[in-house]
Chain A
Amino acid sequence: MNERQQPGEMQPCESWLEAISLLAAECLTVLEEAELREHLAVCHACLQRYEEIAKVCFNVRIAKPIVDQERVLAMGQCLRHLPLPAKKVTWKNRSVPKRVAMLATAVLVLVSLLSHLASRRPEDNPDQRTTIVQVMPRLAPVESADLQLPTMFALRRAAAEADDTFDRLLARYSEPSLLEPLNRHRFSLESLQ
């Protein structure tokens, strides 16, 4: 690399520039550092560059901001009562003996076969078919449910056809106890119109 430097020129060698910065930042390996120091011993421009960068590094290093150690310690507070990490048991590093594993597999196969036999559907054998629903419950109208009121729409249509007033028809088809909620309903319907 020395050959690249022109005699009398104060520019540092281009190929060493990055290494010079890394040396100043203490990021070179022992071998790399030795190689560069050999070069610095003979190249004044590179040495000067190294000194300048080293000053920058020194000043940046001492400008390192302070960290509140109490807060850093507080970060570790949560680690005091940590639960143990759950160990994942993988099949690869299993601790179950092979013989036990095979026996367990055989038992599983047997159980699944038996359960299959036991759960056969009765439709397969018509003699064993059982009646699930024997009597269907009969639905009958309740007496009290007969008391039904005509819908508001029907009343309104009837009032229009019979040249009668809606209120009169409503009173006719309604019982006094049921009239009140219907009236409320009517008001709401009328307000909508």
Chain B
Amino acid sequence: MTERKNTFEVELIRRVLAGEQQAFQQIAGQHAEQLFRCALTLCRDRQLAEDISQETLLEAWRSIGRFDGRCRFSTWLYGILRHRFLKARKRSTRRIVAELPSDDTRYSSPTNSQPAADPSRDSERAEDAERVRNAVSALPDEHRQVIELRFFADAKLDDIAAVLDIPLGTVKSRLHNGLEKLRQLNLAVNLFSATGES
């Protein structure tokens, strides 16, 4: 499945390199959400994250000729994203908020929002999800970023390394330490009551 996806992406990139704009739109559409989630993890500001993701895609289009295929396309994009983030952080006077806005419903609802048979159980799940997100937010930045990038943005380890500009080994150890902290927290405070799996 992954191999087929990669082949498809390679084909798309070949078309993009040939100057086919539609192919780029297609590939950008595939990565837009991940880029946005990554940007959100880095800056924790929704508007800034949107700006950074858009700038990343524009920059990718402008410099697509420099993509040499030595890394995955997503890794290359994440490298640009990091660059744009650092640039935006430098120029922006906007405050980088420390916490995600709790009143912003776009980022406070869990993904598994299918209509549930039992509404009370559904609300419990939502509460669990909120607790988990808060627990992740409360982690030290270095662990939080890696966990959010892996589980919220579905980024691969080398992509995370590219975004955070740290070695792969450091990504692994941070991921392990972050998960270990969450595990210990779950043992101390029951984080997942609704799922009944803690």
- A61, A62, A67, A84 pick with most chain B CB within 10 angstroms: A67
Collect the chain B residues with CB atoms within 8 Å of residue A72's CB: 32-33, 36
Collect the chain A residues with CB atoms within 8 Å of residue B112's CB: 62
Collect the chain A residues with CB atoms within 8 Å of residue B197's CB: 55, 58-59
How far, in whole Å, are A167 and B122 apart by their CA atoms in the complex? 99
Q: Is A164 an interface residue (CB 8 A)?
A: no
Which of B21, B107, B183 is close to A56, meaning CB atoms less than 8 Å apart?
B183
Contact status A64-B36, CB under 8 Å: no
Collect the chain B residues with CB atoms within 8 Å of residue A57's CB: 151, 179
Interface membership of chain A positions 58-72, coded 1 if the CB is closer than 8 angstroms to chain B and 0 otherwise: 111111111111011
Q: What class of interface size applies to chain B in its complex with A?
A: 35 or more
Which of A55, A69, A79 is close to B25, meaning CB atoms less than 8 Å apart?
A79
How far, in whole Å, are A52 and B109 apart by their CA atoms in the complex? 24
How far, in whole Å, are A80 and B179 apart by their CA atoms in the complex? 41
How far, in whole Å, are A177 and B128 apart by their CA atoms in the complex? 93
From DSSP, what is the main secondary structure of chain B's interface residues? helix
Please give me the residue from chain B that is nearest to A62 by CB atom.
B112
Contact status B136-A60, CB under 8 Å: yes
Collect the chain A residues with CB atoms within 8 Å of residue B106's CB: 65-68, 71
Contact status B176-A18, CB under 8 Å: yes
Least CB distance from B77 to A in Å reads 13
Contact status B50-A75, CB under 8 Å: yes
Which of A21, A71, A78, A85 is close to B65, meaning CB atoms less than 8 Å apart?
A85
Contact status B129-A63, CB under 8 Å: yes
Please give me the residue from chain A that is nearest to B106 by CB atom.
A68
Contact status A63-B33, CB under 8 Å: no
